[in-house]
A and B are shown apart, each in its own frame.
Chain A
Amino acid sequence: KQEVTQIPAALSVPEGENLVLNCSFTDSAIYNLQWFRQDPGKGLTSLLLIQSSQREQTSGRLNASLDKSSGRSTLYIAASQPGDSATYLCAVRPLLYNNNDMRFGAGTRLTVKP
């Protein structure tokens, strides 16, 4: 059974810092891994989607890496801003034939202090 773990559960940093969020998964047989952002009481906004054949994806100040063999992904946020404060979730889509619904981690709650 695929399990997704995110560490740390919460993180508080001063504005301007570069930071790394971690995601690990137990089964490397995946189609892809997706990072989401969720603001309080709102839906999930997709940030980056990495296919299993890819090593990383970049969008602006965000860079996500994928090491499928070790079951790890990182989300790197450069020059953090207070507007980056949110919960960040990672999810993997398993290769299982009958049940390839995405599996989600519990998220990392990020606070960027001005």
Chain B
Amino acid sequence: ETGVTQTPRHLVMGMTNKKSLKCEQHLGHNAMYWYKQSAKKPLELMFVYSLEERVENNSVPSRFSPECPNSSHLFLHLHTLQPEDSALYLCASSQERGNYGYTFGSGTRLTVV
């Protein structure tokens, strides 16, 4: 295990469903991130939480709603998604600043039908 755990690994949902992705880290990091990776595209940063506060939202549609109840857990709530939202969603954690790298989870493969 990488230290960052994402569940579920795979998710198929209809456009009217509501679901949530979960990310958990036990590395003592204080920053957590959601990334989207579509086929043949670079990683897209969606949300950043630093010290449990959202510090960045890269113009992500409101049908994606993040939640960070504490420094170890991060959620991405999904509702009324579109087929183009199908992608690999990756969670990462790090220390907020300084000479630290990122640790990634294994990702959730989301398919919207």
Contact = CB atoms under 8 A, between A and B. Distances in A.
Contact of B48 (A42, A93, A101, A106): A101
The size bracket of the interface on A is 20 to 34
A44 B2 CA distance: 10
B88 to A, nearest CB: 7
Interface in B73-113: 88, 90, 92, 94, 97-107, 109
Interface stretch (A14-22, A28-36, A58-66, A70-78): A28-36
Contacts of B90: 43-44
B11 interface: no
Nearest to A95: B97
Contact of A45 (B88, B98, B100, B104): B104
Given A104-B43, A106-B42, A31 B99 contact: yes
A41 B48 CA distance: 22
Chain A, interface SS category? strand
Interface in A63-114: 89, 91, 93, 99-102, 104-107
Interface string A22-59: 00000000011010100001111110010110000000
A52 B101 CA distance: 12
Nearest to B58: A101
Contacts, number: 52
Contacts of A41: 88, 107, 109
A104 to B, nearest CB: 5
Nearest to B102: A102
Contact of B42 (A93, A100, A101, A107): A107
A34 B102 CA distance: 8
A34 B101 contact: yes
A32 B45 contact: no
Given A32-B101, A43-B4, 17 more contacts: A31-B100, A32-B99, A41-B88, A42-B106, A42-B107, A43-B2, A43-B105, A44-B104, A45-B2, A46-B104, A49-B101, A51-B99, A93-B100, A99-B56, A101-B48, A101-B56, A104-B43
Interface of A: 31-32, 34, 36, 41-46, 49, 51-52, 89, 91, 93, 99-102, 104-107
